[in-house]
């Protein structure tokens, strides 16, 4: 809606700002600003209206946007224009991602460039580099405690090396994603250092308090993220002689977004990095950015407004940049990070499909897809234009973040069921194949999450230890089946580095004093390239997993119906062990079907498939390219077998 106050404000200050910019190339910026300014203004007003300096801050925001627009390199502006014309650019079936730590993958950023052929070999064309910005040597939470947002950490290389990576990927039509840790900084960040020296301006960038009064009130509502290693949500800073809010580790200071300067600074950081050639930002810990006493300070409405502002302002400056929300929260809450518009996304473009991830592990442990089907069917539809990041493992622990009501509906007791899952996945249940470790057991509520690599959780480690060849085959089949789901479900598949080679748990983390108290390092491997070379040797688990993944990525690229256009329909085949869904586009149709049980399953294809618009008498599997024969009208699925069935060869 037209807002005369916003319009007047823009008219009043835009010419001043433009005069200072000294550039003739601003019409695209001005056009986008005119069309989005209402939305920006209203949100800024919602958060900061009462302040005396409201207009001054809004003007400062516009100046930051324009400065970054003027600084945006021509090649990136060109790609902005192309992407504006093709808003589906990141939802394509052509895209498959891999997330990795540049140093643990192959030494550093230059080492990454040396491995471009490897990504090609596999078919991966989107790289998510785990935190690469400067962070302290030890207290860094794997890079999630940033001390300088404008500098690549020297353990990975220099800003120049980073730009070279971005340019190389762009020339190869590959996408580059990096993390921006927007919720907190390291206690060694310049702002924190100034706050420690008593500078009130910078103390106001954080939540700091002279005594425990306010912290105590906050604590009543706040849960603990790292109860074992960082209990409580506040830390007393000796230098500052004040308490500071530290929801994650004690050295990660939470930024105070009730101060508009913080938002403007962080937007400036995002745009600065965008101008270095980043295509997608993984916004870390998005649920946490706004705090309110008396609440858990997660998923608050103001947090959404902050993310909408990041998105809107970036759209004006660099419309070819997309945002991914890392919101590992309740299923209904995750969807809200896409924005609540029914027309198009107005917040994040992507979000981690943590619900699918956790439910897949539930199905692996129980051999049943009942809870998964109930949980996924119940998810609200995401807005057009958005997509999921589908993944099985990442650098973090697995939280069993699905709803109790779906567990009950499937006939289990939620508390006992969750206990069973944790025990099963951490090798404490009689007969389990999974070998994970409990992460952050909280004796106050009995909760624990799970660490472990895909291969070890899927049973490969115990199988190799026992020397049982059938068990090895089963583990490999589980891994391949899980990869099949993330490659065919609607969204961008994100392979976790090392999983393509069936890498087992790395127990070495416990010898490293900077990692030993955080067992997430068990699944953050250093790639051994000699070992990786075995991926071409028949009979090796790494070969079986790598080639299967390679084949599925290629099959995905040849299947336009797998692009995410909210075109996914979960189908109930009346067999709780089987997870199936239809993906269709115009005349193209694929039925992805997966057997989560270690025995053969029979599906009455002649009776059910025609109803799904799939002829049962000419079935082909897109992955293998082979024709599938039925037996007496039934499709047979061997243990963990999966197909992408279609009628066209």
| Catalytic positions | 284, 326
* Ramachandran category for residue 467: left, alpha or beta (phi over 0 → left; psi -120 to 50 → alpha): left
Full DSSP string of 337-354: GG-S-SSS-SS-SEEE-H
Residue 106 structure tokens = 């192959």
Stretch (H or E) spanning 478: helix 469-488
Q: Which is nearer to ligand GLC, 142 or 525 (CB)?
A: 142
Q: What span, in angstroms and rounded, lies between the C-alpha atoms of 78 and 65?
A: 18
Q: What span, in angstroms and rounded, lies between the C-alpha atoms of 234 and 225?
A: 12
Q: Minimum CB separation from ligand GLC for residue 353, in Å?
A: 14
Q: Which is nearer to ligand GLC, 298 or 647 (CB)?
A: 298
Q: Minimum CB separation from ligand GLC for residue 620, in Å?
A: 40
- For helices 54-71 and 27-48, angle between their N-to-C axes, nearest 10 degrees: 150
Report in angstroms the alpha-carbon separations of 441 from 447, 516, 581, 583. Answer: 6, 15, 36, 39
Beta strands in 246-306 (DSSP E): 252-254, 280-283
Q: Minimum CB separation from ligand GLC for residue 186, in Å?
A: 10
Q: Minimum CB separation from ligand GLC for residue 534, in Å?
A: 30
With tokens 């053969």, the residue in question is 600
Q: Which is nearer to ligand GLC, 225 or 300 (CB)?
A: 225
Q: Minimum CB separation from ligand GLC for residue 144, in Å?
A: 3
What phi and psi values does residue 528 have, to the nearest 5 degrees? -100, 105
Residue 290 structure tokens = 């706004």
Q: Which is nearer to ligand GLC, 142 or 436 (CB)?
A: 142
Report in angstroms the alpha-carbon separations of 517 from 259, 410, 436, 520. Answer: 34, 37, 16, 9
Q: Which is nearer to ligand GLC, 102 or 285 (CB)?
A: 285
Q: Minimum CB separation from ligand GLC for residue 301, in Å?
A: 19
Q: Which is nearer to ligand GLC, 136 or 384 (CB)?
A: 136
Q: Which is nearer to ligand GLC, 130 or 580 (CB)?
A: 130
Q: What span, in angstroms and rounded, lies between the C-alpha atoms of 585 and 560?
A: 7
- CB-based contact 38:325 (threshold 8 Å): no
Q: What span, in angstroms and rounded, lies between the C-alpha atoms of 26 and 226?
A: 47
Helix, coil or strand: residue 255 = strand
Report in angstroms the alpha-carbon separations of 354 from 72, 229, 357, 360, 391. Answer: 34, 24, 5, 10, 8
Helix, coil or strand: residue 39 = helix
- CB-based contact 191:202 (threshold 8 Å): yes
- CB-based contact 195:202 (threshold 8 Å): yes
Q: Using alpha carbons, select from 120, 70, 66, 63 the residue that is nearest to residue 96.
A: 120
Q: Minimum CB separation from ligand GLC for residue 108, in Å?
A: 21
Q: Which parts of this chain interact with ligand GLC (CB under 6 A)?
A: 141-142, 144, 181, 225, 248, 284-285, 326, 328, 395-397, 399, 449
Q: Which is nearer to ligand GLC, 237 or 518 (CB)?
A: 518
Q: Minimum CB separation from ligand GLC for residue 357, in Å?
A: 11
Helix, coil or strand: residue 583 = strand
């Amino acid at each position: 809606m037209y807002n005369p106050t916003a319009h007047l404000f823009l008219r009043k200050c835009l010419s001043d700002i433009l005069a200072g910019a000294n550039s003739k190339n601003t019409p695209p910026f001005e056009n986008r600003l005119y069309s989005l300014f209402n939305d920006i203004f209203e949100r800024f007003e919602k958060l900061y209206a009462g302040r005396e300096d409201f207009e001054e801050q809004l003007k400062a925001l516009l100046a930051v946007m324009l400065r970054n627009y003027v600084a945006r390199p021509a090649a990136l502006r060109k790609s902005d224009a192309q992407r504006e014309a093709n808003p589906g650019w990141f939802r394509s079936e052509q895209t498959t991602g891999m997330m990795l730590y540049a140093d643990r993958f192959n030494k550093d950023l230059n080492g990454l460039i040396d491995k471009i052929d490897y990504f090609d070999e596999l078919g991966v064309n989107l790289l998510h580099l785990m935190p690469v910005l400067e962070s302290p040597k030890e207290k860094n939470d794997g890079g999630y405690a940033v001390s300088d947002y404008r500098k690549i950490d020297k353990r990975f290389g220099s800003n120049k090396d980073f730009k070279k990576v971005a340019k190389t990927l762009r020339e190869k039509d590959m996408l580059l994603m990096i993390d921006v840790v927007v919720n907190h900084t390291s206690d060694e960040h310049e702002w924190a250092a100034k706050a420690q020296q008593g500078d009130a301006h910078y103390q106001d960038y954080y939540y700091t308090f002279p005594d425990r009064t306010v912290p105590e009130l906050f604590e009543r509502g706040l849960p603990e993220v790292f109860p074992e290693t960082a209990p409580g949500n506040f830390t007393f800073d000796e230098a500052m002689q004040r308490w500071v809010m530290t929801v994650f580790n004690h050295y990660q200071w939470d930024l105070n977004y009730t101060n508009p300067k913080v938002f403007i600074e962080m937007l400036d950081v995002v745009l600065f990095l965008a101008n270095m050639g980043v295509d997608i930002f993984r916004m870390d810990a998005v649920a946490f950015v706004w705090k309110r006493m008396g609440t858990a300070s997660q998923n608050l409405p103001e947090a959404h407004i902050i993310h909408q502002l990041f998105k809107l302002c970036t759209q004006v400056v660099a419309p070819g940049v997309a945002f991914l929300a890392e919101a590992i929260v309740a299923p209904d809450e995750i969807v809200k990070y896409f924005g609540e518009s029914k027309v198009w996304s107005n917040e994040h473009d992507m979000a981690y499909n943590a619900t699918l991830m956790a439910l897949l592990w539930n199905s692996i442990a129980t051999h049943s897809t009942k809870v998964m089907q109930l949980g996924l069917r119940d998810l609200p539809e995401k807005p057009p234009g958005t997509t999921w990041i589908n993944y099985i493992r990442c650098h973090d622990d697995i939280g069993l973040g699905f709803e109790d009501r779906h567990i009950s509906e499937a006939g289990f007791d939620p508390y006992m069921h969750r206990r069973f899952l944790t025990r099963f996945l951490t090798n404490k249940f009689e007969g389990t194949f999974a070998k994970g470790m409990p992460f952050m057991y909280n004796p106050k509520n009995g909760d624990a999450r799970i660490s472990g690599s895909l291969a070890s959780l899927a049973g490969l480690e115990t199988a190799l230890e026992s020397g049982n060849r059938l068990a090895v085959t089963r583990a490999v089949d589980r891994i391949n089946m899980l990869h099949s789901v993330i490659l065919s479900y609607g969204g961008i598949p994100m392979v976790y580095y090392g999983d393509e080679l069936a890498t087992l748990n790395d127990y070495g983390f416990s010898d490293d004093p900077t990692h030993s108290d955080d067992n997430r390092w068990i699944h953050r491997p250093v790639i051994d390239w000699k070992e990786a070379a075995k991926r071409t040797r028949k009979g090796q688990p790494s070969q079986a997993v790598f080639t299967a993944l390679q084949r599925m990525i290629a099959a995905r690229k040849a299947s336009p119906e797998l692009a995410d256009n909210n075109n996914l329909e979960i189908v109930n085949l009346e067999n709780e062990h089987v997870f199936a869904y239809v993906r269709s586009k115009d005349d193209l149709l694929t039925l992805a079907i997966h057997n989560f049980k270690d025995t053969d399953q029979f599906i009455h294809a002649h009776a059910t498939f025609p109803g799904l618009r799939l002829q049962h008498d000419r079935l082909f599997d897109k992955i293998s390219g082979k024709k599938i024969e039925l037996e007496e009208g039934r499709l047979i699925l061997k243990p963990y077998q999966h197909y992408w069935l279609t009628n066209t060869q």
